[in-house]
Amino acid sequence: MYPQLFELGPISIYTYGVLLAAAYLIGLQFTLMRAKTRGLDGNRVMDLGIYIIISALIGAKLLLIVVDFNHFQQDPWSILRSGGVFYGGLLVAVSTAFWYMRRYRMPLWTVCDAFAPGIILGQAVGRMGCLMAGCCYGKLTEIPWGITFTNPLAAANVGTPLAVNLHPTQLYESLTALLILGLLLISERTMKSFPGRTFWNYLLLYSLARFFIEFYRGDPRGTVFDVLSTSQFVSLLLIPLSILMLLILRRSKNLESKR
């Protein structure tokens, strides 16, 4: 696709970085809109969003280094050209967010519900950056909607196979993210709600989708027990946790309503 937008002297402007920045800004703006309708302090939500963005970037890079350590040991500077592992960013960002909300006594699940649709919207945009860069590519395929990369920069930066038909896994995840976004927003309007439901539904739906999309990924990203990819392993942890939390929070809401 188009890994590099343009050059400014010695500085290269990469498409992935531009779309990643757009993903964070769009997601944060959508969250701020939702926060206002929930009576949350906009300034606090903005600060929290900035903390989440920074911690997500750090977490994604750290897990990328862990799962592809040998590559970065040979070429340390390539970490600047590479993206990151979403689950690494998610886990560090959630931990940072919980710390921040506890410190400033923000309503935990109300804030999480405000952020969840913005996060999945950002993912939909961010995966288009992956498509442009050629990272997170799929396995070889003969399907008619397969995608072929030809830009040498994609191969040089992230090892994308060129001139072969691949599963468009970036599009799979981007379109799935938009579907999940729609389901979250519709369920908020049509189903009985309780604090935390949107957030844990997001984690449940995304983890399910990510587990299956991983079967079509062809890029090296580490394995657990030589069977599951790192993201599949994390998904298998988050799926039962999400179901458990949904049951607990719904039961707590029902008990409160009976008092």
Q: What is the pLDDT of residue 51?
A: 94
**CA atoms of 240 and 109, how far apart (whole Å):** 18
The one-digit pLDDT tens for each residue of the chain (259 residues) are: 788 887 777 787 888 889 989 999 999 999 999 999 999 999 999 999 999 999 988 988 888 777 776 766 676 666 655 667 778 888 899 899 999 999 999 999 999 999 999 999 999 999 999 999 998 999 999 999 999 999 998 898 888 999 999 999 999 999 999 999 999 999 999 988 899 999 999 999 999 999 999 999 998 877 888 889 988 999 999 999 999 999 999 998 877 766 6
Q: What is the pLDDT of residue 249?
A: 95
Q: What is the pLDDT of residue 80?
A: 58
Predicted model pTM? 0.88
